[in-house]
Amino acid sequence: MQENKILNKDEIGDKIKRISYEIYEENFNEKSIVICGIENNGAIIAKKVIRELESISKINVEFLSIELDKKKPLKTVQIKDSNIIMKDKSVILIDDVSNTGSTLIYVLSRLLQLQPKKINTAVLVNRDHTLFPIKINYIGLSLSTSLNNHIEVKFKENDIGVFLT
């Protein structure tokens, strides 16, 4: 199957910078926010967003990594650093690609148990095939694709980009 590069490394950086500014604009009154990244690529993007936020603001940003088995999401949502208190804080949940919204909705259901003040979502690529009632607040790129297409985000040293197959 042929791969088409949709975004290169610099374009991904530009999208992440724009998402970071949008997050800052929405949360500039907050003293502290929590950025949650869904493993693997969502966590990579979340860390890049944190670096941007730290360069443009004085908001204290805490990072949480979230792991789940996408085949059994109800049983496997794991928050890796449970020492961070989310109660009454603004939380941003980040993933690489939103297809149906199922990954985000399962993680959101777990995060709600921690009583945050608010939760927003961010994705690098939104495919608009939502099957679950999820709103993406910060989007790097909206892409209309067929259900047969696959979007892959790669962060390998010599192969960074967003690809459509």
Dist. CA 72–CA 65, nearest whole Å: 18
This prediction's pTM: 0.91
Dist. CA 36–CA 65, nearest whole Å: 6
The DSSP secondary structure of 68-131, one letter per residue, reads --TTSHHHH-EES-TTS--TTSEEEEEEEEESSSHHHHHHHHHHHTT--SEEEEEEEEE-----
Identify the pLDDT of residue 132. Answer: 74
Dist. CA 33–CA 162, nearest whole Å: 28
The tens place of each residue's pLDDT in the chain, 165 residues long, gives: 567 999 999 999 999 999 999 999 999 999 999 999 999 999 999 999 999 999 999 999 999 999 987 777 666 677 776 678 888 999 999 999 998 788 899 899 889 988 999 999 999 999 877 767 788 999 999 988 777 888 899 998 888 999 998
Dist. CA 114–CA 112, nearest whole Å: 5
Token pair 């910078």 in the structure block, residue? 17
